[in-house]
A = this chain, B = another copy of it.
Amino acid sequence: MENENHEARNKQVILKNYVIKRFPKESDMEVKTNKIELKLPESCSNNDILVKNLYISCDPYIRNLINDDNNMPAAHRTLVGSPLTGYAVAKVLDSKHTNYKKGDLVWGITRWEEYSLLSSSNSLFKIHHVDVPLSYYTGILGMPGMTAYAGFYEVGSPKKGDRVFISAASGAVGQLVGQFAKLAGCYVVGTASTNQKVHLLKNELGFDQAFNYKEEKDLDLALKRYFPEGIDIYFENVGGKLLDVVLLNMRLHGRIIACGMISQYNLEQSDGVHNLSVIVSKRIRMQGFVVSDFYHLYPKYLEMILPFIKAGKISYVEDIAQGLEAAPGALIGLFTGRNVGKQVIAVARE
């Protein structure tokens, strides 16, 4: 792969066009092979790092980076003709940054390609614990894990006995929120899009109850069946019509942790939510959050989660696709519910 002048093939997943108010298609992306020098030039900037991507993380938020009409800072957006950006587990091949040296394993924001030349290292975390699957740093030990942790504990203010409802419950974040809620002594119900996922929630992930929302004619009745006394905490991953029905089933002083609204990302016109006035009468707090505001808690999270993983008290379900060629399909699959558990793309062995 590497020749004498360090030049290597660099396969990339390139954005062909912006995706505006519609479902993304595989043909919105293309896998192309470019070349890259596998050594930083002498002239490069002090903080440059060259990494080899091992596992790439496939996350719903990426959808918001391939619009052209979003409010994201330009640095976080994907431009047409460039590789997609996203979280990955990577190995440092060369570094001008004093904090990283050749051979270090890191996780953070890189690009959908075999090798990435990163000009800033703000978002890279060093990996110190390797007695767990490395792919976990795209999930339970990475951004989705921190999302579940910050959302549930910091935003949700859970109490023992709280009745917790989770949408997209078998996803990268939802499956953890449910397990955290069980550990906190809550009653936990999740919803997902297939019976296979429902089985997983009930039999592998310890949810008290789970249901397939696609098989419920009346979501309001379904919620009343599982929450006859109402919902204390709703961990919101989908938005739209489900949120509207959940509002009707919230308890006094309930909390809606707004983590994402995946059902709305691809619509020309987002669904109207009609039942917001219960926010007043039921004293509901609906709060959005973005995980990067909570990364200072990562060491604390690791201290909690690593022993749970090692003791088998927390499970994590991954759906690992092989190779960058599978990446466009894996991204599309997030929006059709094809993935079962955290969607990862394995790019290379260490």
Q: Identify the A interface with B (CB < 8 A).
A: 64, 71-72, 239, 243, 258-261, 264-265, 269-290, 293
Contacts of A271 in B (CB 8 A): 272, 274
**Closest chain B residue to A279, Cβ basis:** B288
**B274 engages A258 (CB within 8 Å):** no
Contacts of A258 in B (CB 8 A): 276, 279-280
**A275 engages B270 (CB within 8 Å):** yes
**B285 engages A290 (CB within 8 Å):** no
Contacts of A243 in B (CB 8 A): 276
A275 and B258 alpha carbons, distance in the complex (Å): 13
**Closest chain B residue to A72, Cβ basis:** B281
Contacts of A270 in B (CB 8 A): 274-277
Between A and B, 27 residue pairs with Cβ closer than 8 Å are: A64-B281, A239-B277, A243-B276, A258-B276, A258-B279, A259-B280, A261-B276, A261-B277, A264-B277, A269-B274, A270-B276, A270-B277, A271-B272, A271-B274, A272-B272, A272-B274, A273-B273, A273-B276, A279-B287, A279-B288, A280-B288, A281-B288, A281-B290, A283-B293, A285-B287, A286-B287, A287-B287
**Closest chain B residue to A262, Cβ basis:** B277
A336 and B289 alpha carbons, distance in the complex (Å): 37
Contacts of A265 in B (CB 8 A): 277
A269 and B288 alpha carbons, distance in the complex (Å): 26
Closest chain-B Cβ to A178's Cβ sits at a distance in Å of 20
Contacts of A64 in B (CB 8 A): 281
Contacts of A272 in B (CB 8 A): 271-274
Closest chain-B Cβ to A291's Cβ sits at a distance in Å of 11
Closest chain-B Cβ to A25's Cβ sits at a distance in Å of 22
Contacts of A71 in B (CB 8 A): 278, 281-282
Contacts of A276 in B (CB 8 A): 239, 243, 258, 261, 270, 273
**Closest chain B residue to A277, Cβ basis:** B261
Contacts of A259 in B (CB 8 A): 280
Among B72, B280, B283, B284, the residue within 8 A (CB) of A261 is B280
**Closest chain B residue to A243, Cβ basis:** B276
Q: A270-B275, A275-B270 given as contacts; is B290 within 8 A of A280 (CB)? A: yes
**Closest chain B residue to A257, Cβ basis:** B280
Closest chain-B Cβ to A313's Cβ sits at a distance in Å of 29
Closest chain-B Cβ to A48's Cβ sits at a distance in Å of 30
Closest chain-B Cβ to A245's Cβ sits at a distance in Å of 14
Closest chain-B Cβ to A43's Cβ sits at a distance in Å of 37
**Closest chain B residue to A284, Cβ basis:** B288
Closest chain-B Cβ to A42's Cβ sits at a distance in Å of 40
Contacts of A279 in B (CB 8 A): 258, 286-288
Among B274, B280, B293, the residue within 8 A (CB) of A289 is B280
A288 and B250 alpha carbons, distance in the complex (Å): 12
Question: Most B CB atoms within 10 A — which of A239, A243, A269, A279?
Answer: A279
Closest chain-B Cβ to A281's Cβ sits at a distance in Å of 6
